[in-house]
């Protein structure tokens, strides 16, 4: 029996030297069943280029589970990635396959081995005619202008926007440039114009996202990030704590958190909680119980964080009232 962890047939853009710039995997597979894995054994391990005719034969034998029919119309070799295990990333195509697995909702953030990903994601100019290497951009722009054409450059980055590769069902995205490939957006998620979701991060859905979901951060169902709210990612913070927000939380406008929260937690607008923030814990009558650093409250549920407007103290009290999201607002059929 063949062992296949992840598999994808993709269409790559390459430079003049044949180096892969990016790769589209419209129908990736994760942990295929034994029968399908055996059928994939004909493809070499790792990354290879394959004639579309060969892929078409395998696709027919697998009842169309490998690729959509439109991909087989390509007049260029296809890129095949066949991974037996969740190994460290070894090339650009493998990096793109793993990002697709996340955005196709086949796996959750923080569950894939993404070691080596930055080394294999080239920094590119993302344009309306596809990715262009920055060194070639000026000549390409001049050539286009000479033909009376215009090339729009959207960004220069290692990560493209997700919707140019994956369009998950049941979501609303007000500004597609703010959702990177490798983001996980669950059914019913709304990302407003100032919302952002990094790679290897996401919203389980339904969620209202008007703030920033940083790398490695997951927010659970019913949680709302207010306008310009922020979550501290593992890259920006430099630590190893995986930040998550549980169900039915609210992080108010211009607020943020650097500690994980359980369910039904609220941080008032404008208040940023870091691990070292000194918090006064009070009981239901408002009487002080103790003072702690916020890291000691990490992962707790039913907490309301507010700031005393007179003393400036950060206060935490019990919050038994869940944040209810508008169901009609998150039905994106």
The question of whether 288 is a catalytic residue gets the answer: no
Residues 130 and 115 in one domain: no
Determine the structural domain holding residue 316 and report its residue range: 162-330
The mean per-residue pLDDT over the stretch 269-285 comes to: 92
Q: Which among 48, 52, 23 is positioned nearest to 165, based on CA atoms?
A: 23
Predicted TM-score (pTM) of this structure: 0.93
Residue 261 and residue 299 in contact, taking contact as beta carbons nearer than 8 Å: yes
Looking at residue 157, its pLDDT comes to 97
Domain end, chosen from 69, 101, 120, is at 120
Residues 59 and 20 in one domain: yes
* Better-scored residue on pLDDT, 321 or 36: 36
Residue 1 lies in a domain: no
Please identify which of the residues 133, 210, 268, 327 carries the catalytic annotation: 210
Does residue 254 come out as left (phi exceeding 0), alpha (psi in the -120 to 50 range) or beta? left
Indicate if the pLDDT at residue 116 is higher than 50.
yes
Indicate if the pLDDT at residue 323 is higher than 70.
no
The mean per-residue pLDDT over the stretch 267-278 comes to: 96
Residues 214 and 282 in one domain: yes
Residues 57 and 129 in one domain: no
Tens-place pLDDT, residues 203-232: 999 999 999 999 999 999 999 999 999 999
> What CATH number has the domain bearing residue 145?
3.30.60.70
pLDDT band at 288 (very low <50, low <70, confident <90, very high): confident
Does residue 237 come out as left (phi exceeding 0), alpha (psi in the -120 to 50 range) or beta? alpha
């Amino acid at each position: 029996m063949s062992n296949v962890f992840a598999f994808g047939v993709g269409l790559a853009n390459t430079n003049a030297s044949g180096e892969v710039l990016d790769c589209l995997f419209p129908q990736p597979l994760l942990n295929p069943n034994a029968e399908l894995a055996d059928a994939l054994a004909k493809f070499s391990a790792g990354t290879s280029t394959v004639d579309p005719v060969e892929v078409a034969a395998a696709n027919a034998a697998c009842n169309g589970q490998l690729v959509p029919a439109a991909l087989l119309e390509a007049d260029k070799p296809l890129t095949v990635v066949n991974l037996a295990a969740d190994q460290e990333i070894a090339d650009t195509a493998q990096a793109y396959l793993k990002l697709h697995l996340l955005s196709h909702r086949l796996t959750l953030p923080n569950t894939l081995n993404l070691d080596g990903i930055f080394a294999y994601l080239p920094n590119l100019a993302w344009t309306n005619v596809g990715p262009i290497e920055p060194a070639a951009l000026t000549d390409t722009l001049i050539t286009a202008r000479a033909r009376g054409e215009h090339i729009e450059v959207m960004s220069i980055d290692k990560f493209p926007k997700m919707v140019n590769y994956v369009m998950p069902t049941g979501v609303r995205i007000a500004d597609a440039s703010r959702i990177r490939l490798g983001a996980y957006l669950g059914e019913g998620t709304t990302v407003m114009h100032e919302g952002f979701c990094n790679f290897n991060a996401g919203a389980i859905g339904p969620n209202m996202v008007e703030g920033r979901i940083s790398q490695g951060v997951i927010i659970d169902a019913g949680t709302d990030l207010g306008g310009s709210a922020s979550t501290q990612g593992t890259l920006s913070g430099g630590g190893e704590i995986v930040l998550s927000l549980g169900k039915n939380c609210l992080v108010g406008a211009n607020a943020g958190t650097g500690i994980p929260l359980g369910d039904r937690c609220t941080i008032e607008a404008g208040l940023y909680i870091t691990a070292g923030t000194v918090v006064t814990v009070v009981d239901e009558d408002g009487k002080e119980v103790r003072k702690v650093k916020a890291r000691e409250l990490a992962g707790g549920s039913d907490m309301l964080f507010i700031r005393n407007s007179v003393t400036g103290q950060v206060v935490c009290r019990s919050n038994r009232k869940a944040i209810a999201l508008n169901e009609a607002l998150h039905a994106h059929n």
